[in-house]
Amino acid sequence: MTLRRQVQFWLLSLAVFCAFLYVFSGVLLPFVAGMAVAYLLDPVCDRLERIGIGRMWATLTILLGFIFILVLFFILLLPVLGDQLAKFLENFPDLVRQLQGLLSKNFGSGLAAAAGIDADDLQATMTNLIGQGASFVGKLAQSLWSGGQALLSILSLFVITPVVAFYLLLDWDRMVERIDSWLPRDHQDQIRELAAEMDAAVAGFVRGQVSVCLILGTFYAVALAVVGLNFGLLIGMGAGLVSFIPFVGAGLGLVLSVGVALVQFWPDWPWIVAVASVFAVGQFLEGNILQPKLVGDSTGLHPVTLMFALFAFGYLFGFVGMLIAVPAAAMIGVLARFALRQYLASPLYRGTGHPAPVREDSVKE
């Protein structure tokens, strides 16, 4: 088969796969979630097998434990988070008005003098900006809440996902061997190398980042609750779960928590500083301990690339697209670096008479 025919075959396969995702995105959620659960838990199952537990019993033990933790979350934490979210959305307009009045009363004249504009104009501008921001955050929160309600109302997510995860986890090694047997013989070693690099990238980010998000969410929630911040559990958990996007989770959490703290604690500055310090400590832990230890540099994903992937896949395929955005971006990054290595080693780049070796660091993002 010529190179042109091979390129046409793989491009056609990619187009069919994307069309399949687009057409069936509405029913793929429990299956994609089941695949994600199986992928995350497969290393644990392999470790249990190595100590002498059969694959069937290892799969049952892990999946039952996972379901038990999930049920505890829905019984213990979800009602509290849902109650805080409902109250937050209900009180959000009043919180914004109080914050706007507090800032205008205590800082408006100083900001107006520094900016060289009239105090009334500055207050009107602040009111407009805060109102627009409040409207955006309110609509976003309401859409997420309604989407969460719709998601929770889908019984198939809780019925089909565990079944899919069980069968995939039980047959994971056999599926890998079967897919390996389908690889083109002429390119088998190269595809295996690329697949191993993709697996390292996806596993390094997904498994590591899930741990980072859970640890940060727990830390932020507990710390803000100890400080006594209203809606602290909700803000902390939300900031932790969005921490897979660099600086976004901590930034949103800091803005929301400091805004609530100003309304709640003013003029007691120590409590406001304590709220801000929670996120300063969290960022220190994330940047110096959690990220290097649990995630590392295995993905090669730039933060901008990650954000673009989330928006692009979410726009194209909805919530299912957001689930597959990070793994897909990591795989595309591996393929892009491979294509760049091939280009830098080809006469198309070197021309004639320049057989320079390709440096590995020249193809990293």
Residues 78-90 have pLDDT tens digits of 777 777 777 877 7
pLDDT surpasses 50 at 153: no
pLDDT surpasses 70 at 229: yes
> Lowest mean pLDDT: which of 1-10, 146-155, 282-291, 314-323?
146-155
Mean pLDDT of 247-262: 83
Contacts for 306 with CB less than 8 Å, ≥ 6 apart: 244, 245, 246, 326, 329
Instruction: Indicate if the alpha-carbon torsion angle 111, 115, 116, 121 is positive or negative.
Output: negative
* Mean pLDDT of the residues in the chain: 76
Q: What are 273-282's contacts with CB under 8 Å, separation 24+? A: 274/227, 275/224, 275/227, 275/229, 278/220, 278/223, 278/224, 278/227, 278/236, 279/220, 279/239, 279/250, 279/253, 279/254, 281/223, 282/216, 282/219, 282/220, 282/223, 282/239, 282/250
Please report the pLDDT score of residue 147 as a whole number.
Answer: 47
Please report the pLDDT score of residue 202 as a whole number.
Answer: 80
**Are 231 and 83 a contacting pair, CB within 8 Å?**
no
> Lowest mean pLDDT: which of 145-159, 206-220, 263-277?
145-159
Please report the pLDDT score of residue 142 as a whole number.
Answer: 53
Token pair in block for residue 244 = 């897979």
* Residue 260: count of CB within 10 angstroms of its CB: 23
Please report the pLDDT score of residue 354 as a whole number.
Answer: 56
* Residue 283: count of CB within 10 angstroms of its CB: 17
What percentage of the chain has pLDDT greater than the value 90?
Answer: 1
Mean pLDDT of 237-251: 79
In the block, residue with structure tokens 């107006």: 112
Please report the pLDDT score of residue 194 as a whole number.
Answer: 84
Please report the pLDDT score of residue 191 as a whole number.
Answer: 83
Let me know how long the chain is. Answer: 365
Token pair in block for residue 196 = 């191993």
Q: Which H/E stretch holds residue 269?
A: helix 269-285
Instruction: Indicate if the alpha-carbon torsion angle 6, 7, 10, 16 is positive or negative.
Output: negative
Task: Provide the greatest CA pair distance for the chain.
Answer: 76
